[in-house]
């Protein structure tokens, strides 16, 4: 097993590298107790570089979703540490964690990602309105223009195609200018054309405005849009590559599967 | 967040509507009760104001003894009229005679007497008489009466008609006039018979020089208070003077304590039960909605909504539903009040309602209650919503099929056990078993609500077993569906449980009271026939009648009881007067000391408990005081055990008759000779009774049955309560089923895809509904019957009588109603489930 890549992702002391948007140290997540206990994360160390598009890959049950949930403050670790920017998420109570999610994190989910009773516009500004703020109008227009939803803002989710719904979700994640956007299989429910559009939007957001994005996926073609890919298997980081292509990702995946 | 709440509610209009219906019904009842109560109070106040419009100050005796349903006042001397008229400031002094006179209608039946008084009084020719003659002329001399227009209509009597007035002796009279209040209002149910003053004194007071009161009218410019001050110094100490306002207030307080109080309490109980059931319905709806919205809530939490915001969101939804429903209920309440009043008017009990106007107070109270009830019902679900973890947004949506916590099971068991202990051991702890039993009943109720989710799965399994056996696969599915979410099943059933528990409680109390009465009569009554007045507020029985019955061949003994207004050793224990020798023949009082037959004049007989309570023994002497101002010495001549039927203190009737000028019997009991034919003797007695204005003649079974009829009438009202509770619970069941079906769309689609027919889908939903309904009903019936058992036991311990007799007929009927209600509640949800398009159902997200 090739593990030097994961070591390369760790910040060597004093190395001139990008600052980490989020850091994971010694992360362990166990479900259940005793004989039936399942270890979803087994001492994971990982840095999410700021302003980059990072993909997390792995077979089913590898722990990739758990890792993302813990990174995003949706779930808590059994042991270890997740630091978002300068905040240790493990030290926060529910109220502070809620504030972190609201102000510093954006989400794109695989499905059921919009509130069905709200219009597209209302869905996009939802995190801001939950925080009691007005979204920046210029930024809102820019994001909406970027994802190409201008004429669809008054529609309800049920009146939008799957691709359009997911574009609303991406816009929602971007509009509050979070430090990190987490995307959980964002193209899982989409046809390939819509999926490609979404991935291009996300890549553009990283390239043009320096948005940090972490995406969990099992699709090598999707991972190829990322700047780097981290591979998980059995709760451990087993590999990592920079500037991936669909072929190199597929190649690594096959090796992990072996 | 605000727009989210409103959007959500708009998207789920039907759901919000269903939750609101329960509040609407409850608030409508509350509003109607308050409005009717207010309007009646105002209306009756107006009536009394008008009735006293000819009186500025009334002078009457301060000596009053409560006896039976009435307050008996000492009379005053007629000479006072002239004395008072001579005082400065008095423009006129009017003699007032008042007593009981019940007039017989054209059909031979006495009019009124079933609650409102049947007043006999004297007609006063004066300018300020509040009554005006519509027809005819004032009464002059014996044998002439004026009656009020309401009574004339009720008895189909017209000027010139001859009829009978019972005072209580039957008097032949001619109606010479018909009068009514100047305003034309009727005194709902009260009957008036006016005689001239001399006749009234003779018939109603039995004394040509006595008056009930003297009404004074002030000289112009003299106020009521001023007038009272002017005359007060010349009044003897046993007389008092009351102003018009005081008289009105006194009448209002009396009617408030009696009829109005009962009426509003009863309607408030309706509203209370309705609101309680509504609370459960709303709680259940919110609980389901919150469960179904788990993913949406989790999404909001993931996007940064705080717990407080989620809590506030659900709270705001409850607030809006509560406010809108309460407002609609307020409007519906006005309609209901008008409808109820129309029914009351049709029943002849219509009370003048000075307009059923809405007041700020009623509106504020009804709205506040509606909103608070909805908010309270939504608290627990809202808290649950606020605890949804954000991670739940990423899980596959799971339907909550969890059972209940061990804490709940333990707490529920403990509370129920404590309640049952209270019911079982109420007679062993403390001095007030009834209170302990009532508390125990309340605890069992709360305990069962707590235990509902714990037992729901097993209960649904048991109830569903026969259905599954008979209805095949549909029955099996229905049973599983009812079992899969015990919290929801029990929540839905709880609403029905409350309603049916109330009905079971009252129905069983009713049958138990009837059974107790039966046992009492079997135990204490040894006679053959009973004669009693038809109503309870009309004229009593003429004492002469008992004497005439005694002359009938074959009659062995005639015992009569009458209220004796007197104080014994300063206490008013409302003694009954009787002829002990005769009583001994018809009553089995179980005398343990002394002998009834030999008590004689001046004798007093008391119950064992009465003797113990007052430290009395055989031969003790007591002082009796009477309204005529005299006293007598009574001697305890017998102590007996069975003190429930005839009361616990009896005085010899020779004593009472020396001090009353208006004797009347409450009830007359007849024993016939051994060997005489009951049929023959009864026919003879009937002819005598007919001469005295036809009071009812019954054998002991018929008498019991007639007593039972009053209880049955009360039960009729309780069934109204059932209807209301069932309607609300029905809405709740329908709502729960709709939500469950919405949740199971995919599953139903699958069943349809593999071949379940539309009618089979309907059948499955219908039987699930029936299982829930039967669960709630059986729980309610068991609860109500158990509480009744505990209460009757406690009553038996304190009162010495009480036989528990559950009303099996009612229990069976209620269960049948519940099953039908279950089927009806399932109609719409079942139709919706059956209409689901198979492909849509499967592809739904």
* Cα–Cα dist B189/A161, whole Å: 73
Give pLDDT tens digits for B528-574.
888 888 776 778 888 889 889 989 898 889 998 899 889 888 888 88
* Cα–Cα dist B143/B167, whole Å: 13
Give how far the C-alpha of residue A140 lies from the chain's centroid of Cα atoms, to the nearest Å: 21
For residues B730 and B440, which has the higher predicted lDDT (pLDDT)? Answer: B440
Mean pLDDT of A20-44: 86
Instruction: Decide: B829 and B738 in contact? Cβ < 8 Å.
Output: yes
Mean pLDDT (chain B, rounded): 84
Q: Which residues contact B407 (CB under 8 A, 6 or more apart)?
A: none
Residue A3 scores a pLDDT above 50:
no
pLDDT at site B194? 95
User: Per the structure block, which two tokens stand in for B706?
Assistant: 């007639």
Per-residue confidence at B201, pLDDT binned at 50, 70, 90? very high
Q: Measuring CA to CA, which residue among B170, B192, B65 is closest to residue B117?
A: B192
Instruction: Decide: A94 and A143 in contact? Cβ < 8 Å.
Output: no
pLDDT at site B754? 65
Percent of chain B exceeding pLDDT 90 equals 13
Residue B423 scores a pLDDT above 60:
yes
Q: What is the DSSP letter of B603?
A: E
What phi-psi label fits residue B23: left (phi over 0), alpha (psi between -120 and 50 degrees) or beta?
alpha
* Cα–Cα dist B367/B330, whole Å: 7
* Cα–Cα dist B503/B724, whole Å: 11
Give pLDDT tens digits for B478-531.
888 888 888 888 888 888 888 888 888 888 888 888 888 888 788 778 888 888
pLDDT at site A112? 53
Mean pLDDT of A150-175: 85
Give pLDDT tens digits for B292-349.
788 788 888 888 788 888 888 888 888 888 999 999 999 998 888 888 778 777 765 5
CB contact under 8 A, B303 and A126: yes
pLDDT at site A25? 92
* Cα–Cα dist B615/A257, whole Å: 101
Render the burial of B56-71: b for 16+ CB within 10 Å, e for the rest.
bbbbbbebebebbeee
Q: How many CB atoms lie within 10 A of CB B239?
A: 20
pLDDT at site A13? 42
Give pLDDT tens digits for B649-668.
899 988 888 888 888 888 89
Domain containing residue A144: 4-257
Between the alpha carbon of residue B371 and those of residues B319, B332, B492, the distances in Å are 6, 16, 21
Give pLDDT tens digits for B33-71.
888 888 878 888 888 888 888 889 999 988 888 877 778
Inform me whether the C-beta atom of residue A7 falls under 8 Å from chain B C-beta atoms: no
Mean pLDDT of B566-593: 87
What SS3 state is found at B662? coil
CB contact under 8 A, A115 and B299: yes
Per-residue confidence at A1, pLDDT binned at 50, 70, 90? very low
Mean pLDDT of B456-474: 83
For the CA atoms of B109, B115, B120, B125, what is the dihedral angle to 10 degrees?
Answer: -110
Residue A252 scores a pLDDT above 90:
no
CB contact under 8 A, A69 and B301: no
* Cα–Cα dist B172/B163, whole Å: 6
CB contact under 8 A, B4 and A115: yes
Per-residue confidence at B354, pLDDT binned at 50, 70, 90? low
Instruction: Decide: A225 and A53 in contact? Cβ < 8 Å.
Output: yes
Per-residue confidence at B195, pLDDT binned at 50, 70, 90? very high
User: Per the structure block, which two tokens stand in for A127?
Assistant: 């995190």
Residue B262 scores a pLDDT above 60:
yes
pLDDT at site B176? 94
CB contact under 8 A, B303 and A107: yes
Per-residue confidence at B158, pLDDT binned at 50, 70, 90? very high
Chain B neighbors of A183, CB-CB under 8 A: none
Per-residue confidence at A12, pLDDT binned at 50, 70, 90? very low
Give pLDDT tens digits for B8-22.
666 666 667 777 887
Per-residue confidence at B156, pLDDT binned at 50, 70, 90? very high
Burial classification of residue B257, based on how many CB atoms lie within 10 Å of its CB (0-12 exposed, 13-18 middle, 19 or more buried) = exposed
Nearest CA in chain A to B397: A112
Which range, A168-177, B424-433, B632-641, has the best average confidence (pLDDT)? B632-641
Render the burial of B632-648: b for 16+ CB within 10 Å, e for the rest.
bebbbbbbbbbbbbbbb
Mind telling me how many Å the CA of B415 is from chain A's nearest CA? Answer: 34
CB contact under 8 A, A74 and B394: yes
Per-residue confidence at B355, pLDDT binned at 50, 70, 90? low
Q: Measuring CA to CA, which residue among A67, A64, A117, A73 is closest to residue A93?
A: A73
Q: How many CB atoms lie within 10 A of CB B799?
A: 12
* Cα–Cα dist B233/B226, whole Å: 12
Inform me whether the C-beta atom of residue B300 falls under 8 Å from chain A C-beta atoms: yes
Mean pLDDT of B613-621: 89
pLDDT at site B159? 93
* Cα–Cα dist B355/A46, whole Å: 79
Instruction: Decide: B56 and B84 in contact? Cβ < 8 Å.
Output: no
Mean pLDDT of B814-837: 85
For residues B432 and B30, which has the higher predicted lDDT (pLDDT)? Answer: B30
* Cα–Cα dist B444/B421, whole Å: 9
User: Per the structure block, which two tokens stand in for B120?
Assistant: 């006999």
Full 3-state SS string of B250-286 = HHHHHHHHHHHHHHHHHHHHHHHHHHHHHHHHHHHHH
Mean pLDDT of B244-252: 89
Give pLDDT tens digits for B172-181.
999 999 998 8
Concatenating the DSSP letter of every residue in B391-444 gives GGGGSPP--------HHHHHHHHHHHHHHHHHHHHTTTSSS-HHHHHHHHHHHH
ipTM over 0.85: no
Between the alpha carbon of residue B116 and those of residues B9, B100, B102, B190, B707, the distances in Å are 51, 11, 12, 5, 19
CB contact under 8 A, A115 and B300: yes
Residue B3 scores a pLDDT above 50:
yes
> Which positions 740-759 of B are in contact with A (Cβ < 8 Å)?
none
CB contact under 8 A, B11 and A116: yes
CA atoms B324, B326, B327, B332: torsion sign? positive
Which range, A149-153, B97-101, B407-411, B495-499, has the best average confidence (pLDDT)? B97-101
CB contact under 8 A, A127 and B309: no
User: Per the structure block, which two tokens stand in for B828?
Assistant: 């719409």
Percent of chain B exceeding pLDDT 70 equals 93
pLDDT at site A8? 40
Chain B neighbors of A99, CB-CB under 8 A: 304, 306
pLDDT at site B198? 92
pLDDT at site B642? 82
Per-residue confidence at B253, pLDDT binned at 50, 70, 90? confident
Chain A neighbors of B307, CB-CB under 8 A: 94-95, 98
* Cα–Cα dist B623/A198, whole Å: 105
pLDDT at site A214? 94
Mean pLDDT of B766-778: 90
User: Per the structure, how many domains does chain A have?
Assistant: 1
Mean pLDDT of A65-92: 87
β-strands B555-563, A212-216: how paired? unpaired
Q: Measuring CA to CA, which residue among B755, B817, B1 is closest to residue B385?
A: B1
Nearest CA in chain A to B307: A95
Inform me whether the C-beta atom of residue B15 falls under 8 Å from chain A C-beta atoms: no
CATH (domain of A243)? 3.40.50.300
* Cα–Cα dist B22/B499, whole Å: 13
Inform me whether the C-beta atom of residue A113 falls under 8 Å from chain B C-beta atoms: yes
User: Per the structure block, which two tokens stand in for B640?
Assistant: 């007996």
């Amino acid at each position: 097993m090739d593990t030097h890549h994961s070591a390369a992702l760790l910040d060597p002391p004093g190395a001139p590298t990008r600052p980490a948007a989020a850091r994971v140290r010694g992360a362990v997540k166990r479900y259940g107790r005793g004989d039936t206990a399942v270890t979803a994360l087994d001492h994971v160390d990982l840095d999410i570089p700021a302003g980059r598009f990072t993909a997390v890959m792995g077979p089913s049950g590898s722990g990739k979703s758990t890792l993302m949930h813990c990174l995003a403050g949706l779930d808590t670790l059994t042991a270890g540490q997740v630091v978002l920017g300068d905040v240790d998420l493990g030290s926060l109570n529910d109220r502070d964690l809620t504030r972190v999610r609201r102000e510093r994190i954006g989400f794109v989910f695989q499905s059921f990602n919009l509130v069905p009773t709200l219009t597209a516009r209302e869905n996009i500004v939802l995190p801001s309105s939950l925080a009691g703020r007005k979204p920046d109008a210029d930024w809102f227009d820019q994001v909406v223009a970027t994802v190409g939803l201008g004429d669809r803002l008054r529609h309800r989710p049920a009146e939008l195609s799957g691709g359009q719904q997911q574009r609303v979700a991406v816009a929602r994640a971007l509009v509050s200018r979070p430090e990190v956007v987490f995307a959980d299989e964002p193209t899982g429910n989409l046809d390939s054309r819509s999926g490609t559009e979404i991935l291009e939007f996300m890549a553009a957001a990283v390239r043009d405005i320096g948005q940090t994005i972490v995406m969990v996926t099992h699709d090598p073609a999707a991972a190829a849009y990322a700047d780097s890919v981290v591979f998980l298997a059995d709760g451990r980081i087993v590999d990592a590559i920079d500037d991936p292509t669909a072929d190199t990702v597929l190649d690594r995946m096959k090796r992990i599967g072996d | 967040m605000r727009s989210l709440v409103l959007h959500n509610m708009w998207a789920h209009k039907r759901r919000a509507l269903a939750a609101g219906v329960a509040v609407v019904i409850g608030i409508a009842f509350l509003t109607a009760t308050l409005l009717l109560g207010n309007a009646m109070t105002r209306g009756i106040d107006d009536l009394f104001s008008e009735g006293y419009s000819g009186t500025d100050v009334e002078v009457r005796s301060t000596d009053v003894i409560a006896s039976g349903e009435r307050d008996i006042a000492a009379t005053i001397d007629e000479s006072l009229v002239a004395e008072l008229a001579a005082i400065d400031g008095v423009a006129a002094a009017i003699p007032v005679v008042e007593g009981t006179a019940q007039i017989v209608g054209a059909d031979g039946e006495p009019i009124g007497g079933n609650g409102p008084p049947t007043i006999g009084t004297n007609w006063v020719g004066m300018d300020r008489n509040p009554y005006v003659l519509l027809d005819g002329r004032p009464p002059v001399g014996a044998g002439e009466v004026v009656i009020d227009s309401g009574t004339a209509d009720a008895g189909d009597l017209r000027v010139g008609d001859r009829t009978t007035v019972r005072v209580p002796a039957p008097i032949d009279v001619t109606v010479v006039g018909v009068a009514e209040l100047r305003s034309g209002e009727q005194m709902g149910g009260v009957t008036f018979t006016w005689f001239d003053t001399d006749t009234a004194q003779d018939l109603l007071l039995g004394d040509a020089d006595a008056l009930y009161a003297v009404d004074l009218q002030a000289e112009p410019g003299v106020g009521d208070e001023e007038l009272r001050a002017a005359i007060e110094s010349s009044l003897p100490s046993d007389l008092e003077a009351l102003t018009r306002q005081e008289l009105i207030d006194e009448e209002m307080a009396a009617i408030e304590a009696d009829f109005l109080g009962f009426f509003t309490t009863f309607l408030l109980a309706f509203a209370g039960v309705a609101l309680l059931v509504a609370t459960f319905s709303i709680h259940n709806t919110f609980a389901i909605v919150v469960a179904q919205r788990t993913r949406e809530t989790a999404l909001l939490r993931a996007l940064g909504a705080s717990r407080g915001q989620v809590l506030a969101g659900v709270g705001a939804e409850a607030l809006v539903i509560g406010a809108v429903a309460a407002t609609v209920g307020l409007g519906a309440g006005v309609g209901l009040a008008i409808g109820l009043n129309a029914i009351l008017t049709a029943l002849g009990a219509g009370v003048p309602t000075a307009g059923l106007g809405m007041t700020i107070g009623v509106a504020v109270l009804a709205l506040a209650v509606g909103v608070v009830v909805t908010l309270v019902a939504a608290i627990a679900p809202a808290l649950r919503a606020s605890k949804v973890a954000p991670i739940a947004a990423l899980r596959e949506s799971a339907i909550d099929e969890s059972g209940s916590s061990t804490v709940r099971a333990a707490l529920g068991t403990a509370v129920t056990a404590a309640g049952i202990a209270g019911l079982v051991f109420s007679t062993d702890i403390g001095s007030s078993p009834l209170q302990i039993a009532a508390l125990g009943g309340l605890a069992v109720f709360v305990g069962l609500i707590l235990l509902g989710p714990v037992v729901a799965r097993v209960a649904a399994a048991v109830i569903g077993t026969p259905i599954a056996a008979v209805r095949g696969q549909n029955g099996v599915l229905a049973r599983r569906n009812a079992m899969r979410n015990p919290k929801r099943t029990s929540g839905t059933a709880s609403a029905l449980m409350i309603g049916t528990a109330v009905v079971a409680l009252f129905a069983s109390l009713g049958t138990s009271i009837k059974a107790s009465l039966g046992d009492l009569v079997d135990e204490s009554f040894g006679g053959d026939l009973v004669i009693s007045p038809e109503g309870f507020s009309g004229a009593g029985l003429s004492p002469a009648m008992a004497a005439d019955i005694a002359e009938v061949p074959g009659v062995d003994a005639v015992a009569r009881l009458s209220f004796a207004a007197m104080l014994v050793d300063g206490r008013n224990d409302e003694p009954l007067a009787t002829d002990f020798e005769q009583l001994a023949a018809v009553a089995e009082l179980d005398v343990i000391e002394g002998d009834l037959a030999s008590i004689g004049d001046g004798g007093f007989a008391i119950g064992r408990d009465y003797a113990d309570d007052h430290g009395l023994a055989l031969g003790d002497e007591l002082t009796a005081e009477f309204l005529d101002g005299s006293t007598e010495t009574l001697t305890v001549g017998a102590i007996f055990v069975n003190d429930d039927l005839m009361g616990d203190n009896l005085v010899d009737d020779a004593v009472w008759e020396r001090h009353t000028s208006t004797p009347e019997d409450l009830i007359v009991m007849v024993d016939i000779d051994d060997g005489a034919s009951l049929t023959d003797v009864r026919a003879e007695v009937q002819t005598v009774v007919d001469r005295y204005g036809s009071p009812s003649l019954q054998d002991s079974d018929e008498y019991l049955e007639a007593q039972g009829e009053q209880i049955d009438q009360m039960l009729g009202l309780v069934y109204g309560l059932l209807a209301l509770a069932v309607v609300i619970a029905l809405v709740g069941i329908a709502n729960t089923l709709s939500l469950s079906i919405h949740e199971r769309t995919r599953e139903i689609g699958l069943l349809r895809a593999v071949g379940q027919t539309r009618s089979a889908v309907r059948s499955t939903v219908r039987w699930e509904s029936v299982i829930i309904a039967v669960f709630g009903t059986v729980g309610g019936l068991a609860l109500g019957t158990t509480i009744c058992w505990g209460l009757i036991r406690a009553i038996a311990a304190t009162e010495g009588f009480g036989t528990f007799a559950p009303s099996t007929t009612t229990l069976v009927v209620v269960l049948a109603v519940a099953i039908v209600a279950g089927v009806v509640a399932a109609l719409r949800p079942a139709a919706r489930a059956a209409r689901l398009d198979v492909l849509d159902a499967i592809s739904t997200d």
